[in-house]
Each structure stands twice: as C-alpha cells, then as structure tokens.
Amino acid sequence: MIALFSCREDFEQNIAIPQTFNPELLGDYEGEVELVNGSVKGIVLDQQDNPITNAQVELNDNQTNTDEYGHFFFTNVPMNAQGTVVNVKVKDFQLGSKLFYPQADATENIEITLNRIESDDELSGLSAGDVTISGGITFTYPENAFLNKDGSLYDGSIFIRSTFTNESDDNFFKIIPGNFQAVDINNELVGLKAAQLLQITILDEDGLPLKINKETPVSLILPQDITEGMEAWYYSETEGLYTINTEREDQTINYKNSTSLLIAEAANTSGQLLTLKAADDTTLLENMEVQVLSNTQEVLFKGFSNDQGQVRFNKSTDETSRLGIVDACGQLVHNEDLVTNNTDMKLDQVSTKVVTGEVYTCEVNPSMQNVIRILQGNRMHYFYEDDSEFALTLQTCADGVAIIAALENSNDIANAESIDLDDVVSAIDLFTCEDPAINELRIFNLDTNEEYVYPITSTIGSTDQITSFTHYMQEGQEFKISFNGSVAGNYSAAPDHEIERIYDDAESLRLSGDADVFEVSRFGDMDNITIGSFEGTFENSTTTENINLRGSFNFYFQP
C-alpha cells in the first residue's frame, strides 16, 4: 500500500497523553507513555473480507469514517509508541479494536475484521431475570441492574446483542479486539493465548449504550467450566488491554462494563522491533502481514509492517515463538522459530518492481484523486493518489501477475490491466471505466457550443514518427490530420502540422487549414496513448463561413 507522508510540525505542542487508563477495569495499572507523531491508514472488513463503509473509527480524540472502499486515514497525529488503540463501531457488528505500536514519522497499516452480531435479545430494565445469549451462555441480572450514561437508573427495555466465537472459527484470531496483551493481577503486562471470545453490547430503546450497576452485579453462566489454566479477561477499549476477572467461580463470571470477554491463558511476553527488507537488502517492505505464534500455535501477535518496513511485535519469553510472514499475494514467505533479537530481516523470497503510469478518465483526460486497486494472489491492495501520474512499488510474488485498475467509485467497473511483474514493465495507462473513449477525435464549435465526435480508424507512420491519423469516408464522415514528430511538444508552426480535411456531410462541415495552436501532450505507441489538441479559425467550404474550433484527439498507434 502507498505511503502517507507525515511531518513533525508542531510536535512539541502536542503534549496531551493519547489515552487515559481506565481504573474501573485496570485498577492501579500505569502504562508507559512515549509520544510520537505519525499517521495511520487502515481497512475495515467483515469476515468474508468485504469492505465495510461508513464505519465510525476513533483514535484517541480523533474520529473519522471509512470510505466506500472500507479505508480510513489519520494523518500526522500524536500517538503512544508503547501502545495506541483504534476502535471501530458500526451497526450490526460488534466493536472492532486494534492495539498497535506506532513508530515516529511512519505510516502504520491497520486491518480490522469485525464480528457480526449473532443474538439480539430484549428484556426489562427494572425486573430481575435471565436470558440465553450467543454460545448458550446465560446472562443473569438482578433488579435495577442497568444505568444510563449519567448514572441514573434505567427503567425501559434492554437490548443485549451478543456474539460468541472460539478458536475453531477460521477468523477467530482476526476478530479478537486488542492484540493479545493484558494486565495481570500483579499489574504486569502479559500475553494471552486465546481460546474463546464473547462480545456483548447492551443498549437502551434508543440504541444508546447502558452501564452495569455496580451495586447489582450481573453474571454470565457458561455452558461448561473454563479449561484448567484458562481465565476470563475483560477488554478495555481505551487502552486495548485485557484485565483478569478475579470474581469467578467455576462456570459463573461476574460481568463488568466491557464489550468483550476473552477466555485465555496468560503467557509472559516481550516486545521486539523488526525491519523487513526485500531480497536486494535495500527496499523496505510495507504492509507485510506478521504473525507470532506460541509453540502450541496460539497467536500472540498479528499486525502489518509500516511504510518504513517496521513492525513491533510481542513474543513469548516462556517458550520459543514462531514468526510467520505473509507477502502481498497472501503467500507465506517466512515461517521459522524466533531465536534472535535481530532488528533487520532480509526476505530472499520477496523482490519488488516499480510500476509507473498515468490514470485517465473515460473521456481520456488526466484523472486526479485516484484510487488504484491491485489484485495479487488472494489479496487486494488500494493506493490513493493525488495526481494522474503514479509510481508504485509492488512485490512480484510467486507468479508475478498483478491486475491493476483505477477507480472513481466502488460501483464502477474499471478497465483492468494485467501485467507480469517478472517482465520489464513499461509505463502503463489506466482508465477509470471499462470502455474509455479511446481512438477519438472531438471537435467543439466555440461559436455554437456544438460538439462532434469521430472515430480514429487508422494511423500512418511508426511508433517513432506519426505522420497522420485518419478516418475515411463512412456515413459522410472523413478526416485526415497530421503532425511531423515523435515526442510530446508544440507543433503549432505550419510546417509541423496539417489539418488536411474534416468532413461531416450531415453537419454541412468541410474544413481544412492550419490551426493557431497544435500541441501533443503525450506521445505513445501501441501500449501507450497519444493525446493532443488544436485550436483555430477554419473556413467551412460548404457555407464559406469561418468557424472557431477547438479539437482534441487520442489514439494508440495501429501498425
């Protein structure tokens, strides 16, 4: 994915701590704070990898929404290098949350997969009772158990939306909030080996969140006892950390104000910063998926490298951890035990290629503010460009094939270009629709505001020297226009161009002569487009009137 550049402007003035710790869940824990300025770009997906649009995304005091491709951006914001949290909320899904470790002046890549709500149960706010929620778990509550945000007693209908998942789910480790980090009973940071996840949202009749009354505790009764060695952990979305539930007896858990409850085993972990490089030992590898596993295959960390090739992860200190790295095509390129604290890693299986080109609209005008979508293997990548010209550093992957398209919006069908990155790749043209108006001459009458469009059916010359482009008599239309050159430039001087004829019998047009201005803005060949324009006053031999015209043309050379 393409980098978002950030700077350290006014860094010294950003003195606010990015987050405050939640004493209700984390007690006396005081986390480290190391302020850095950086940027974040991320994508929010459902469990089928479809982008989720218009989701609310929060990072500290900053808020935005995902765009039509599921992406969000935070540019040049203060964050905590010792742990920063992005939270995502959207209708029909549970909380999405990711803990990551930003580096100074870097753009971090975040992927958040949301867990869809499975069970939606209604109950009374004042009376006691119980209800079976997702996973067969019994939610038991006494009278006056729920409070409004301001702490007052709530007496209306309660809606409990829940989702239970476990490690047998293919997406289990993708949907877990945070990043498998917790605070234990001794206020020490530990890792978690997760086995089950319960996510609960408690809402009032207006869809607003409610709180649990501390004086009337709510309980969760699990269908079976928690496996020996496992504990129940609450999630704090403000810190991205879990805290142990000390009020548990066999299958019964005292439920506090937390959207997520994780059944997991604690593991001692430590952090490590790693920079990933391509086979040339120079190119930094961005957006590489990194997973750290315990020796029993539980995930201890899951994240992506930033635009500087860096990723800070957590590994076990109790046992040997295993490091897995996935390339841009979704292929595993590294899967070995972590035996050293190396800060750099060269991946010999990964090479890169810079692909350049330009993006055009359907009318073959340079397109600005583009989204370029690239499919490699089973992974889709998006690059956001503020100019029609682009230069993308892509990983070649196993088969080298990349399918590239430029999009105007998520509903458009773009003209996709399939290229083999193992070959020498010349500059490519991308169009924002499936059938762009290529090989066309457009004439605009400046006096009457009428426009005429004609096909260019042949070219005369070579890829080094275009002499003319033409359309011969068909339905009363014919033209021949020539310029003598092989580069983009100004061909306004009479010897350098000639408009030999533009005939359209249906419109009573018979034009010829020299233009006042004749320019070629782009000179191409069979694979790259030639674009130009002209303007001037021409006599219409049919009516003997002078007409002020502006013309534009585009074509691929046709041998």
58-67 in b/e burial notation, b at 16+ Cβ within 10 A?
A: bbbeeeeebb
Between the two ends of the chain, the Cα-to-Cα distance in Å is 37
Q: What phi and psi, each to the nearest 5 degrees, are found at residue 309?
A: 75, 10
What's the confidence (pLDDT) of residue 410? 65
Q: Residues 459, 557: contact at Cβ < 8 Å? A: yes
Neighbour-count burial of 383, counting CB atoms closer than 10 A to its CB (0-12 exposed, 13-18 middle, 19+ buried): middle
Q: Name the E strands within 184-342.
A: 189-203, 211-212, 218-221, 231-236, 241-244, 248-249, 252-255, 260-267, 269-277, 289-293, 299-304, 310-316, 322-326, 332-337
Q: Which of 469, 465, 466 is nearest to 455 (CA)?
A: 469
pTM of structure? 0.85
Location of each CATH 2.60.40.1120 domain in the chain: 11-113
> For residues 74 and 266, what is the distance between their CA atoms, to the nearest angstrom?
33
The pLDDT value recorded for residue 463 is 66
CB neighbour class for 258 (10 Å; exposed up to 12, middle 13-18, buried from 19):
buried
One-letter amino acid of 503 = Y
Lowest mean pLDDT among 20-34, 38-52, 97-111, 116-130: 20-34
Nearest to 294, CA basis, from 229, 242, 388, 390: 229
Return the DSSP state at 485.
Answer: B
Split at pLDDT 50, 70, 90, the class of 37 is very high
Per-residue model confidence (pLDDT) at position 446: 96
In this structure, the dihedral spanned by the alpha carbons of residues 515, 517, 522 and 526, taken in order and rounded to 10 degrees, is: 10
d(CA 449, CA 172): 61
Torsion 174-177-179-184 (CA) sign: negative
Q: Where in the chain is the domain with CATH 2.60.220?
A: 119-267
The chain-wide mean pLDDT, for the chain, equals: 87
Residue-wise pLDDT for 240-258, tens only, equals: 999 987 677 777 887 777 7
DSSP single-letter state for residue 496: G
Q: Is the pLDDT of residue 229 over 80?
A: no
Question: Can you tell me the mean pLDDT for 80-106?
Answer: 95
Q: Which amino acid is at 368?
A: M
Residue 17 has what pLDDT?
34
Task: Name the CATH superfamily, with its identifier, for domain 269-346.
Answer: Immunoglobulins (2.60.40.10)
pLDDT at 176: 96
Residue 224: per-residue pLDDT: 78
Pick the CATH number of 119-267 from 3.30.200, 3.40.50, 2.40.30, 2.60.220: 2.60.220
Query: What is the arithmetic mean of pLDDT over 90-113?
Result: 96
Nearest to 180, CA basis, from 273, 313, 310, 84: 313
Measure the CA–CA gap between 226 and 252, rounded to whole angstroms: 10
**424-456 tens-digit pLDDT:** 778 899 999 888 999 999 999 999 999 999 999
DSSP letter for each residue of 414-441: -B-EEEETTSPPPPEEEESSSS---SEE
Residue 408 binned pLDDT confidence (cut-offs 50, 70, 90): confident
Fold of 352-431: Immunoglobulin-like (2.60.40)
Q: Which two tokens stand for residue 43?
A: 């994508």
Question: The domain at 11-113 falls in which architecture?
Answer: Sandwich (2.60)
* Beta partners for residue 336, in sequence order: 323
Residue 184 has what pLDDT? 87
Buried b (16+ CB within 10 A) or exposed e, 190-227: bbbbbbbbbbbbbebeeeeebbbbeeeebbbebeeebe
**Are 162 and 290 contacting, i.e. CB atoms less than 8 angstroms apart?**
no
Burial level of 118, CB count in 10 A (0-12/13-18/19+)?
Answer: middle
Q: Which long-range contacts (CB under 8 A, 24 or more apart) does 477-483 make?
A: 477/503, 477/504, 477/505, 477/506, 478/503, 479/441, 479/454, 479/503, 481/441, 481/534, 481/553, 483/518, 483/520, 483/532
In percent, the amount of the chain with pLDDT more than 90 equals 58
Q: Give dist(CA 421, CA 400) in Å, integer.
A: 5
Report, in this order, helix, strand and coil percent for the chain, each rounded to 5. Answer: 5, 50, 45
Positions of CATH 2.60.40.10 in the chain = 269-346
